[in-house]
Amino acid sequence: ARRVLGLAQFRPADLVTTAWAFSRLLLENPPLLSAIAARSMPKITEFRPDELAMTAWSWAKLRVADPPLFPAISSQAIRSIMSLPPQELAMTAWSLAKLSYEDFPLLDSISSQSLSIITELRPQHLASTSWAFSTIGVVNRPLLAALASQASRRIIESRPAERANIAWSLSSLAVLASPLLNSLADVAISSLRIFDSHDIAQTVWAFAKLGMKDPPLLDSIAASARPTISEFGPRRLASTAWSYATLACEHTPLMDAIAAAALHKLTDFLPQSLANISWSFAQLVSLNHPLMDSIAAASLPQIPDFGTQSISNTSLAFAKLYVPNETLLQSLSQESLRKISEMETQNLANISWAYATRGFADGPLMQAISAAAITKIHEFTSRPRRGGICETLDFIADLLALCWSLAFSTRMTDAVADPLRGHVVALGRSLDSLAGAAAGDGDGAEAAGVRAPGAPFACVNLPGIIVVLKPENWEVNRGDPDVRRAQVEWGLLSDWIARVLPRERYPLVHSSEFDFGFIHRLDVPSSGLVLAATNFAGHSLLRFQLDTHELCREYVVVCAGPMDSQRVEVSRRLSVDRANMKSCVCGSGSPARTFFKVEVHAWPQWDPDNLDTLVAIKIATGRHHQIRAHMTHLQHPPVADGKYGRVEVMLRDKDIYSDTVWFESNFHRPVVPLFLESRPNRRAERKLAVGGAALDPTSRQPWLRGPELDLPGLT
């Protein structure tokens, strides 16, 4: 009290020193601080530039906002900004961010002065300034680029915390500074031994946020983090797991250590950390039952505090790992309904996907999501789009994911489908305008040309869409720009379409980012029709039709063994073994649904034990090797399939392949080498004939169109 009464005699320097001392000791004394602020206001013009910075820092350190004081400090600081030394300049920016005080005129002045003295800024100043602009959310690219460049030059002088702060700041604002991050990676690897949990978590988060996968750094961070993982708090555990999952880095020892540490601290986890850690394990398809069960138990009482992103991530995680917990799903569904108006389109898409794939088709929730999606479309189309092509593409992707979920859960009605289809195509047309692609007249007629033997051919040309007849031995190489062509023994469909459609009119078909326009694929050994888009409007329409099952994909397959003629559907999840790129049934895989109907059983006349089956197939999803994997799961792999065929029927024989001869003689087309990549198929020493009447290849058409395929969901 005596100190407060004596403030009338204090000079500016005395006021600053007193406030600094209390803030340095983290001693909160509201009456004293209010009195110092009131006494400082009339004398603010007498404060030196460094005293202004120290005053702002003192209030920020104690996280005490004084509305009248800060505008006065700001006004005076702008006038004297040129006189602020580097440390006080960074300190002022840090103070504004710490108190979330958005003073854009002062921030502009700080930015201009920082640029003019950028070479004088030490690592601490660089870290504080970049952190401040990131925390407030101001993207000043010239300043951030200069800060990144200077930080890269002075990387050796910086401390781990400063490096982590700079990397975190640039990543938060999505500013890609590759030279700086490369330098950070090199230095971090050699100095990880002195990193604490905060530095480790922030560093790996920064790389993940910008999608920069640096395997040596990730391996080093994992090795450094595992021995000290028990020191990580909930947020840092969740952040580290999120980073490795985002970069698709399957570091099992580290994730196991994170799971073990998290199990002991889950009662301290807040909703966002609970959601992030569950999402991370789901993204890596790493099912840890004790962890997921504990996350569910810890989440239930906190569901009302879950934000929309946390609801979305948690729903997605439990659905993707196929963890049965009806109580949690019901609670998340109810909370989603309460917060539906706050959700972004991506949240709506993720939640609808989660409930659709779990077979938990919540009627009221799906109806609310459909209505909210239409509202989001109107909001998106009525506001300026600063993100250009990327923003529109992301929005279309979210809408299509939502459409897939509604269709998969049988909740897609005409009243919902019609407006969604129209909006998706309209958004595609807007992309064509931005990209300068061919619009209404872009019918892909150039792709027709002269049909050459063994080469693809555009058999249908429509505005924005072509239908390509793909022969066997051609690869639909969607999204694979790094294919090693010297090792490819077959044709690439992307090469063909690039030759026949000029880039200036059809940029979409020249872009690996958009799968060269192909919206689905066929295995190399298969022949058939491939749908391709030649502009964004066509691409959006085809994707919508595919995702909502308006397009039917039907096939004819000859499989080994006598298949049960009553079986009409397989809905088993599939995952891909990245080591051999084979798909297999897996409980935590992606949803997959295949319909099929047995058409003919055929056998060699002299060997009735080798009965084969001709099957008509329709797929409702398009997973990697879906037909081959589902049929192999049923122990009826396609004949002559060296990749999926059963060992007991794959005998070596250099002279004759009975199934191959049978197939070629009856279907008048060759069996290509990929089917025989493992070993030849069954051995036979006699000429084979089909039991009963010989097959007429032209009868394949009625199998696909006729009444024999009048099955649920199969037309």
> In angstroms, rounded to a whole number, what is the distance separating the alpha carbons of residues 434 and 388?
8
Please check whether residues 490 and 517 belong to one and the same domain: yes
Q: Parallel, antiparallel, or unpaired for β 594-602 and 612-619?
A: antiparallel
Together in a domain, 520 and 563: no
CATH label of the domain that carries residue 520: 3.30.70
Residue type, position 405, single letter? S
Question: Are 59 and 65 spatial neighbours (Cβ–Cβ below 8 Å)?
Answer: yes
- Same domain as 560, residue 526: no
Whether residue 289 is predicted with pLDDT greater than 70 in this model: the reply is: yes
Rounded to whole angstroms, the Cα distance separating 435 from 402 reads: 25
Span 519-532, mean pLDDT?
84
Q: Which of 655, 680, 703 is the last residue of a domain?
A: 655
pLDDT at 551: 84
b/e per residue 111-130 (b: at least 16 CB within 10 A)? bebbeeebeebbbbbbbbbb
**What sign for the dihedral angle of Cα 157, 161, 162, 167?**
positive
> What would you measure as the largest C-alpha separation in the chain, in angstroms?
116
The answer on pLDDT for 322 being more than 90 is: no
Question: For the ranges 174-178, 390-394, 570-574, which has the lowest average pLDDT?
Answer: 174-178
pLDDT band at 696 (very low <50, low <70, confident <90, very high): very low
Query: Would you mind telling me the total number of residues written for the chain in this entry?
Result: 715
**583 and 527 inside one domain:** no
Q: What is the pLDDT of residues 529-560, one digit of tens each?
A: 899 999 999 999 999 998 888 888 888 888 88
In a domain, 380, yes or no: no
Asked if the structure places residue 523 within a domain, the reply is yes
Does residue 57 belong to any structural domain of this protein?
no
Would you state the pLDDT for residue 295? 96
The enclosing H or E element of 576 equals strand 574-577
| Residue 258: predicted pLDDT | 96
**3-state secondary structure (DSSP) of residue 514:** helix
| Residue 26: inside a domain | no
For residue 174, pLDDT over 90 is answered with: no
**Number of domains present in the structure of the chain:** 2
649 with 568, same domain: the answer is yes
Give me the residue label for tokens 């004394």: 29
Same-domain pairing of 464 and 509 = yes
Which tokens in the block code for residue 615?
């099957």
- Quick one: tokens of 468? 């390509």
If residue 583 lies in a helix (H) or strand (E), which one and from where to where? strand 582-585
Residue 262 lies in a domain: no
Contact between 468 and 459 under an 8 Å Cβ cutoff? The reply is: yes
Last residue of a domain, one of 480, 503, 534: 534
Q: How far is Cα 407 from Cα 539, in angstroms, rounded to an integer?
A: 19
Q: Which two tokens stand for residue 147?
A: 């800060």
Q: What is the CATH number of the domain that holds 608?
A: 3.30.2350.10
Question: For residues 373 and 379, what is the distance between their CA atoms, to the nearest angstrom?
Answer: 10
Side-chain half-sphere exposure of 547, counting CA atoms within 13 A? 25
**What's the confidence (pLDDT) of residue 640?**
67
Q: How confident is the model at residue 291 (pLDDT cuts 50, 70, 90)?
A: very high
Q: Indicate whether 529 and 461 sit together in one domain.
A: yes
Q: For residue 611, what are the contacts with CB-CB under 8 A and spacing of at least 6?
A: 561, 562, 601, 602, 603
Q: Are 116 and 84 in contact (CB under 8 A)?
A: no
Q: Are residues 580 and 651 in the same domain?
A: yes
Most confident of the following: 132-141, 364-373, 431-440, 522-531:
364-373
Count of beta carbons in the 10 Å neighbourhood of residue 462: 13
Q: Are 18 and 39 in contact (CB under 8 A)?
A: no
| Residue 525 CB partners (closer than 8 Å, separation 6+) | 472, 473, 671, 672, 674, 675
Q: Which of 63, 62, 61, 10 is nearest to 38 (CA)?
A: 10
The answer to whether residue 64 scores a pLDDT higher than 60 is: yes
Where is the domain boundary, 632, 655, 678? 655
Residues 570 and 638 in one domain: yes
Which residue type, as a one-letter code, is found at position 308?
A: T
C-alpha distances out from residue 701 to 87, 105, 556, 662, 666, Å: 79, 73, 10, 20, 15
Q: Report the pLDDT value the prediction gives residue 366, as an integer from 0 to 100.
A: 86
As a whole number, the mean pLDDT across the chain is: 80
Q: Are residues 561 and 468 in the same domain?
A: no
Q: Which domain holds residue 620?
A: 553-655
Pairwise pLDDT comparison (257 vs 37), residue with the higher score: 257
Q: Which residues contact 364 (CB under 8 A, 6 or more apart)?
A: 337
pLDDT of residue 610 exceeding 90, the answer is: no
Domain membership flag for residue 101: no
Please state, in angstroms and rounded to a whole number, the distance separating the CA atoms of residues 580 and 342.
43
Residue 583 in domain? yes
The answer to whether 464 touches 442, Cβ cutoff 8 Å, is yes
Q: Enter the tokens of residue 613.
A: 């089956």
CA torsion 698-704-710-715 (nearest 10°) is -160
Which spans in 44-85 are helix H? 49-61, 69-79
Cβ atoms of residues 170 and 205 within 8 Å: no
Does a structural domain hold residue 407? no
Residues 560, 588, single domain; the answer is yes
Give kind and range of the element (H or E) at residue 615.
strand 612-619
Q: Which of 386, 383, 366 is nearest to 315 (CA)?
A: 366
Q: What is the pLDDT of residues 78-130, one digit of tens each?
A: 988 888 889 999 999 999 988 888 888 999 999 999 999 999 999 889 888 98
* Radius of gyration for the alpha carbons in the chain, expressed in angstroms and rounded: 32
Shared domain for 571 and 606, answered yes or no, is: yes
Spatial CA neighbour of 70 closest among 85, 59, 83, 79: 59
Q: Return the DSSP state at 595.
A: E
Confidence of residue 243 (pLDDT cuts 50, 70, 90): very high
Per residue in 635-673, pLDDT (tens digit) is 888 876 777 775 544 443 333 345 556 656 666 655 544
CA-CA distance, 91 to 70, in Å (whole number)?
14
